[in-house]
Structure 1
């Protein structure tokens, strides 16, 4: 580097050093808040907290009322469903009872027809005409039908009430007539006109019976 260039660099450096400093542009630190302002802000904050607390309590009360209403509605709905289920079950039991009574009536008719067929004693002409064979076949058919019907009733837990030789029970029996038998106790069932039935532990139909009565009146038949 020649002497002229060195002189120019020194002149520039000297001029830079002689320039005035840049003004301080930094902002002064803000003044600290005074105690009165701080207390005022704290009071305002406390008031806001109280207001929000009251609003929160009011909201809780509203929610509690809503929950209570929902709880009452739920209990009411459960009660209605329970009543509907009870009514539905009662209707089902009544329908089943009606059907079982019809089956029992059918059993009575078949039993009566089978008994008559077994007692049938054809004369000579009827035997020649094949009536005995026909009636015998009918008796066998009715016996098979009775077996099937007994099986159906047994599956439905339907069974006959034991009456013959038993003391008269007004809860399960109906006295259709009385008779006299000195060798049997007073009130004993002597005969059964129509059988009664249980459906499980429920009474399905009363039995119609003839009851022994030792004090005979004119309307009673001696046995």
Structure 2
């Protein structure tokens, strides 16, 4: 389905929350001897992008105003005329992506806010890859909940921010570190598109996660 320019996604908020998701224990396993108070959600160590500013677009904007003047009275002379005023300037705009992490006692939720280029008015990208590093607690199984919040610009004025478009599918996605490690070793591929499901990247401190994102990193300036 093709949407007109008035139906483009102008702003989007992408939030992903990680939670601890161990396999359900039996009653015997959940005794008082188990230290459940130390169970924490997976920690987000790094995200990309934290701030992405796309290429600048420019456009000449011109606004004209016109005021009609007229007079009436007992006099035979009825003056009339028009006063016009014209203003022009160059407007700049760019695609903006801002990412942040929140959570307590560890940061386990990543939020990206994407805003379209107000000059080109092409909407936010139809496909986006946002990368992050997550550290599970004690190699425990965990899950991710993804929430998308989009503004299409269907409404106008203050009503636009009050009536957002929100995704309805909220089924969590489960991750098992042991299974992912095995899949990386065997180089297993997705049955949907044939891409590698998991890979060993070595030391995470030396991992450049920007290469996994659809937003290019800023080139270093000389």
Tell whether the structures are fold-level matches, with TM greater than 0.5: no
Q: Which has the higher strand share?
A: 2
Structure number with greater Rg is 1
The TM-score with structure 1 as length reference comes to 0.17
Q: Which has the higher helix share?
A: 1
